[in-house]
């Protein structure tokens, strides 16, 4: 049988490898000139910038993917464990480093805020129960309703940790007396493109995964992941067509038959795995009557990105750094309710050259700056981007890191750029947000409910966004397809 995969992002590459390893003929069609999707690369004047994900978590998911092709991850990629995981800096100048070593983490928090080490230990225990209860039935399985959580007899204590209420912020308040630590926990909602004041407390699992399994970097930059997956897929016989735009999916009696390319070429197939955003799939590639969505979910957070080549070395910063805003709740209100860029944003700074000197010219640094931003629709980013970049640099200067005179390379990526380049719904980085209790169960499933032979593998489908989850989405799509056809 022949399977066509639309999109060569991580989900598409994951599905391609697993299907090809089963002996299925696979052809990948990618609209851009290289693979990776949002996991991509920009090079300029000796600086290298990963333009999408900047952190690897859950390395066992990567190992499992390579093992599916009878390969070892370590033969293809070198993962480097980061310690500290991240440096957190507050407006008053205080801060702490996080660590995946529990004694170190507790010691750092105790020094920062007496009692917070024990608070974190208690919260981590709660998050561990939530993780144990959700890993197999949710993250690693197809799911269609909350009842799927109890089908495997999950212990009651784990189920209680999975209760969606309170919100993640409300849960943090139960465990942490210091508001600064509540803000720290709330940040993990943004890993799913959501607000800690709306997203369910079950997202404590996101925090747990980072500290239980560690935070990792890939030697040579994270784009090396996409390159390795492409090379492995080609080794297995997968055919790639780059600069190849799919115009529509052709069906007959709601059964996949072919795809039509931009210039009219028809490619027959038995099945399709769509690695594109689900909104693009249902609104542009399929006939409208084949859209199963009862409601269109709220798009996730988008992002405003600055890629800066900076002369000299900066003391006081680590590989990953967070500069928190003074009013976190006001920040998310501006983003999700007012649909405006935050006037005082939390700023994430990743300097991978701190760990890998190949990522910048000698004596220089590559700064990846990410600020949460609203979905597209209200902001004219062509007009606002230069002013917002100035605001961010001024904010960093006030916080003691003035790099304005040292910048020799600058590139800006706006929510509009993300929407237009990757066809993401309103520029959302993670598909839909998790700002409601039911949102996790309303994500498109990995097997289409309305079209036979159509499967979904992307950050907008189950189980969600982020490198490991998108890899799992590819796995679940490939497993469903294999079950149906082999």
Report pLDDT digits (tens) over 280-291. 999 999 999 999
Size of the chain in residues: 486
What sign has the CA pseudo-torsion 78, 84, 85, 87?
negative
Domain with CATH 3.50.50.60 in the chain: 2-39+56-61+220-297+437-485
**What would the mean pLDDT of 106-135 be, rounded to a whole number?**
96
Please tell me the chain's helix, strand, coil percentages from 3-state DSSP, rounded to the nearest 5: 40, 20, 40
The two structure tokens encoding residue 293: 């969505």
Q: Does residue 161 register a pLDDT over 80?
A: no
CA pair distance 388, 12, nearest whole angstrom: 34
Q: What is the DSSP string of 167-223?
A: BHHHHHHHH-SSHHHHHHHHGGGGGGT--TTTSBGGGHHHHHHHHHS--EEETT-TH
pLDDT band at 151, cuts 50/70/90? Answer: low
The packing angle between helices 102-112 and 116-134, to 10°, is: 140
d(CA 383, CA 341) in angstroms, rounded, equals 13
Q: What average pLDDT score do residues 313-321 get?
A: 98
If you average pLDDT over residues 16-40, what whole number do you get? Answer: 98
Rounded average pLDDT over 364-373? 98
Question: If DSSP codes are grouped into helix, strand and coil, which group holds residue 96?
Answer: strand
The residue whose two tokens read 């606002």 is 384
pLDDT single digits (tens) 400-456: 999 999 999 999 999 999 999 999 999 999 888 888 766 766 789 999 999 999 999
Angle between helices 59-68 and 223-235 (to 10 degrees): 20
Instruction: Note the pLDDT of residue 160.
Output: 75
The residue among 469, 346, 448, 481 whose CA lies nearest residue 58 is 469
In sign, the C-alpha dihedral spanning 240, 42, 11, 418 is: negative
| Main-chain phi, psi angles of 241, to 5 degrees | -125, 110
What is residue 439's predicted lDDT score, i.e. its pLDDT?
73
Q: Which structure tokens are listed for 398?
A: 């006030």
Task: Say what the pLDDT of residue 138 is.
Answer: 84
Q: Is 413 exposed, middle or buried (0-12, 13-18, 19+ CB in 10 A)?
A: buried
Q: How confident is the model at residue 149 (pLDDT cuts 50, 70, 90)?
A: low
pLDDT 10s digits, 331-348: 999 999 999 999 999 999
pLDDT at 209 over 60: yes
* Count of CB atoms situated within 10 Å of the CB of 170: 15
pLDDT in the model for residue 431: 85
Q: Among 250-254, 305-309, 439-443, 444-448, name the one with the lowest average pLDDT.
A: 439-443
Q: What pLDDT does residue 296 have?
A: 75
Higher pLDDT among residues 326 and 295, named by residue: 326
Report DSSP state, residue 353. G
- Give mean pLDDT, residues 369-374: 98
Q: 445 near 462, Cβ under 8 Å?
A: yes
- Give the Cα separation of 355 and 276 in Å (integer): 32
Can you tell me the distance from the alpha carbon of 306 to that of 356, in angstroms, rounded to the nearest whole number? 19
Q: What is the mean pLDDT of the chain?
A: 95
The yes-or-no verdict on residue 115 having pLDDT over 90 is yes
Strand, coil or helix: 280 = helix
Tell me what the mean pLDDT of segment 349-371 comes to.
98
Kindly tell me if the per-residue pLDDT of 150 is higher than 70.
Answer: no
Angle between helices 116-134 and 168-175 (to 10 degrees): 140
Report pTM: 0.95
Architecture of domain 2-39+56-61+220-297+437-485: 3-Layer(bba) Sandwich (3.50)
CA proximity to 194, closest of 298, 60, 76: 298
Helix/strand/coil for 312: coil
- Note the pLDDT of residue 180: 98
Q: Which pLDDT belongs to residue 188?
A: 97
Are the beta carbons of 193 and 375 closer than 8 angstroms?
no
Task: Identify the pLDDT of residue 144.
Answer: 57
Residue 152: pLDDT band with limits 50, 70, 90? low
pLDDT band at 154 (very low <50, low <70, confident <90, very high): low
pLDDT value, residue 69? 98
Q: Which residue did the predictor score with more confidence, 140 or 295?
A: 140
At residue 155 the predicted structure's pLDDT band, cuts being 50, 70 and 90, is: low
The pLDDT value recorded for residue 207 is 97
* pLDDT recorded at residue 435: 81
Bond before 166 cis per omega within 30 degrees? yes
The strand pair at 407-413 and 239-241 is best described as unpaired
CA separation for the pair 186, 41 (Å, rounded)? 29
**165: pLDDT confidence band, cut at 50, 70 and 90?**
confident
């Amino acid at each position: 049988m022949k399977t066509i995969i639309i999109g060569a992002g991580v989900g598409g590459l994951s599905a391609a490898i697993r299907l090809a390893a089963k002996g299925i003929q696979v052809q990948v069609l990618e609209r851009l000139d290289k693979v990776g999707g949002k996991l991509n690369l920009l090079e300029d004047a000796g600086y290298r910038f990963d333009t999408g994900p900047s952190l690897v978590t859950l390395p066992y998911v990567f190992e499992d993917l390579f093992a599916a092709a009878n390969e070892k991850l370590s033969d293809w990629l070198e993962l480097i464990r980061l310690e500290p995981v991240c440096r957190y800096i507050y407006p008053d100048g205080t801060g702490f480093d996080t660590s995946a070593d529990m004694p170190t983490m507790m010691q750092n928090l105790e020094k920062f805020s007496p009692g917070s080490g024990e608070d974190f230990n208690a919260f981590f225990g709660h998050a561990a129960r939530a993780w144990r209860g959700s890993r197999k039935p949710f993250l690693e399985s197809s799911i269609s309703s909350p009842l799927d959580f109890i089908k495997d007899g999950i212990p009651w204590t784990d189920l209680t940790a999975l209760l969606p209420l309170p919100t993640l912020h409300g849960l943090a308040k139960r465990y942490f007396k210091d508001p600064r630590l509540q803000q720290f926990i709330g940040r993990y909602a943004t890993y799913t493109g959501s607000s800690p004041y709306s997203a369910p407390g079950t997202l404590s699992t996101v925090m747990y995964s980072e500290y239980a399994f560690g935070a990792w970097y890939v030697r040579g930059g994270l784009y090396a992941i996409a390159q390795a997956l492409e090379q492995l897929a080609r080794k297995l016989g997968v055919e790639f067509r780059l600069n190849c735009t799919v115009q529509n999916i052709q069906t007959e009696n709601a059964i996949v038959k072919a795809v039509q390319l931009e210039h009219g070429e028809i490619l027959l197939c038995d099945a399709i795995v769509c690695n594109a955003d689900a909104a693009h799939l249902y609104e542009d590639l399929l006939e409208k009557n084949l859209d199963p969505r009862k409601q269109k979910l709220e798009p996730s957070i988008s992002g405003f990105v600055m890629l800066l080549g900076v002369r000299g070395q900066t003391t006081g910063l680590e590989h990953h750094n967070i500069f928190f805003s003074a009013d976190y709740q006001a920040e998310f209100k501006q983003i999700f309710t007012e649909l405006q860029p935050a006037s005082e944003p939390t700023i994430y700074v990743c300097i991978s050259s701190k760990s890998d000197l190949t990522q910048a010219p000698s004596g220089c640094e590559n700064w990846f700056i990410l600020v949460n931003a609203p979905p597209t629709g209200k902001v004219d980013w062509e007009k606002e981007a230069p002013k917002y970049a100035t605001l961010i640099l001024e904010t960093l200067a006030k916080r003691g890191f003035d790099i304005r005179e040292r910048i020799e390379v600058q590139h800006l990526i706006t929510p509009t750029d993300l929407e237009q380049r990757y066809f993401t719904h309103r520029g959302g980085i993670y598909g839909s947000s998790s700002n409601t209790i039911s949102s996790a169960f309303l994500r498109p499933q990995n097997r289409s409910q309305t079209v036979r032979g159509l499967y979904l593998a992307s950050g907008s489908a189950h189980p969600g966004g982020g490198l490991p989850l998108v890899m799992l989405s590819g796995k679940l799509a490939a497993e469903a397809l294999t079950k149906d056809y082999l």
